[in-house]
Amino acid sequence: MSTPTLTLCEDRLLPREPSTLAAAREIYRATRGLPIISPHGHVPVSWIADDMAFSDPTSLLITPDHYVNRLLHANGVDLEDLGVGREAMGETDNRKAFRILCEHWRDFAGTAMRYWLVDQLVGIFGVTERPSPENADRIYDTVAERISQPDFRPRALMDFFDIAFIATTDDPCDDLDGHARLVDDETFTRRVAPTFRPDRYLEPATEGWTGLLAKLSEASGCEAMTLDGFTEAMENRRVYFKQHGAVSSDHSHRDLGTIILDHDRAASIFDASVAGRATVEEMTLLRRHLFTDQARMASEDGLTMTVHPAVYRNHDTAAFHRFGADIGSDVPVTLEVVDSLHPLLDKFGNTDLKLVVFTIDETLYSREIAPLGGWYRSLYIGVPWWFIDAPESVMRFKHAVTEMAGFSKVSGMIDDTRAFCSIPARHDMSRRLDAAHLAELVVLGRLDLDEAVEIAHRLVVEQPTQVFDL
């Protein structure tokens, strides 16, 4: 019996009704070759600054991809066998992990992860066999041979993928050495920018918060153990990030609560939090105040403020204690936006602030976020990310949001990934779904075809360029 093949359908994700398909093809053709703009992601800058060779297929395609890991874990796989929590694995263990992926291939049927993996295996590595236990080693060898070539180092891949801009995610105290080295390297012609990620420093209830304040004091040269000193330190580090090319800050809190406290009240809670005397309610108030003050800073220094809220982090306590944070055991929770953001938007919603709000709670799209984006000049709507950047979810987003807020108030594609080789697959998926949605509007007589082509281009190029001041 012949091995089932793995192929990429030329019209994947496009509608099948003939007239809609024809329009979608023309719209997609206008964007498929455009450079990738990736304003929010988690690829380590060291990969690019050091032009680090990828060592093996497992550490490239499996270990860093939380989406892949979580589904394998749900189907009985130990994360340690995938390389999670391990500094490095030998050849035997790497092959074992890759075999596990191939043995569980059917568990990915219908998922976005399968879509991205097929796009990578076929489009990048030339794999034409559907993964199975029988051919796992053969596919592993094909990928391994490819990544051993000089043209598969990160910088060459940025050229091959045509990534014009990519942002990393960085701690406020990072020295940004990798970014500085890239700027100084005249042979590097792409753009890599840091992203200011201060959320841990805004959470006084977090274990080790005072240690973070000490770290912030050292990095900034400001005494961050008081509210005024903390504010000065944050402003200092934001300037440092801007000097190193940053265009945005990123924030992830359990809710979107905002408040502007009286200075003396905020300072009193800050002091009590440092001393370990503040209540949970007081620390929540302070976190919301500090978060809102980041919007004040953003309105002044021009960093676009992106917010990824409403996630129950490290839901699996045992896995957290064993492997640490950021392993994929996070789960979405419900969110409220209108009341929560009112203090912030009332103060900064029609200023020079650019605030991009994401959600994993799809019920908010048409009820809260689109109406807010359809009024406030500062607010932009973040595209589907994480658990909902799958084809069906993306289309639901488009139908729910654009009819109220239009296309000019969305952020543009955000891939939000550390799985480097999946970046072109994710952006291509987004462009195909843009084409599918716009083609529907053309066939329904709500757009002319030339308008749809122009909007598709805008979503890929103009929107992220404008929203992130590129």
Q: What is the pLDDT of residues 166-182, one digit of tens each?
A: 999 999 999 999 999 99
Residue 3 reports pLDDT greater than 80: no
**Residue range 89-109: mean pLDDT, rounded:** 95
Determine if the pTM surpasses 0.85. yes
Per-residue model confidence as pLDDT tens digits over 16-28: 999 999 999 999 9
- Would you give the distance in Å from CA 364 to the centre of its chain? 19
Three-class secondary structure of residue 11 per DSSP: coil
CA angle 392, 21, 396 (to 5 degrees): 20
Per-residue model confidence as pLDDT tens digits over 36-75: 999 999 999 999 999 999 999 999 999 988 889 999 999 9
In sign, the C-alpha dihedral spanning 135, 138, 142, 143 is positive
Strand 331-332 to 311-312 pairing: antiparallel
Three-class secondary structure of residue 443 per DSSP: helix
In sign, the C-alpha dihedral spanning 288, 290, 293, 295 is negative
Extract the tokens encoding 470: 């590129």
Identify residue 137 by its one-letter amino acid code: D
Asked if 28 contacts 134 with a C-beta cutoff of 8 angstroms, the reply is: no
Residue 378 reports pLDDT greater than 90: yes
**Residue range 436-449: mean pLDDT, rounded:** 98
Write the DSSP assignment of 172-203 as a string of letters. Answer: TT---HHHHHHHH-TT--SEEE--B--GGGG-
Residue 82 pLDDT = 93
**What H or E segment, with its residue span, contains residue 323?**
helix 317-323
In sign, the C-alpha dihedral spanning 316, 320, 322, 327 is positive
* DSSP collapsed to 3 states, 343-401: HHHHHHCCCCCCEEECCCCCCHHHHHHHHHHCCCCCEEECCCCHHHCCHHHHHHHHHHH
**Residue range 75-84: mean pLDDT, rounded:** 94
Residue 365 pLDDT = 94
CA angle 90, 94, 95 (to 5 degrees): 120
Pick the more confident residue, 2 or 250.
Answer: 250
**Residue range 148-173: mean pLDDT, rounded:** 96
39, HSE (Cβ side, Cα atoms, 13 Å):
27
Residue 332 pLDDT = 86
**Residue range 394-398: mean pLDDT, rounded:** 96
Rounded Cα gap, residues 467 and 461, in angstroms = 10
Residue 359 reports pLDDT greater than 70: yes
Per-residue model confidence as pLDDT tens digits over 272-318: 999 999 999 999 999 999 999 999 999 999 999 999 998 888 898 99
Rounded Cα gap, residues 174 and 189, in angstroms = 23
- DSSP 8-class letter at 170: B
Three-class secondary structure of residue 287 per DSSP: helix
Rounded Cα gap, residues 96 and 183, in angstroms = 39
Asked if 144 contacts 57 with a C-beta cutoff of 8 angstroms, the reply is: yes
- Average per-residue pLDDT in the chain? 95
Identify residue 351 by its one-letter amino acid code: T
High-pLDDT (> 70) share of the chain, %? 100
Rounded Cα gap, residues 214 and 228, in angstroms = 14
Rounded Cα gap, residues 159 and 161, in angstroms = 6
Extract the tokens encoding 355: 């605030």
Residue 1 reports pLDDT greater than 70: no
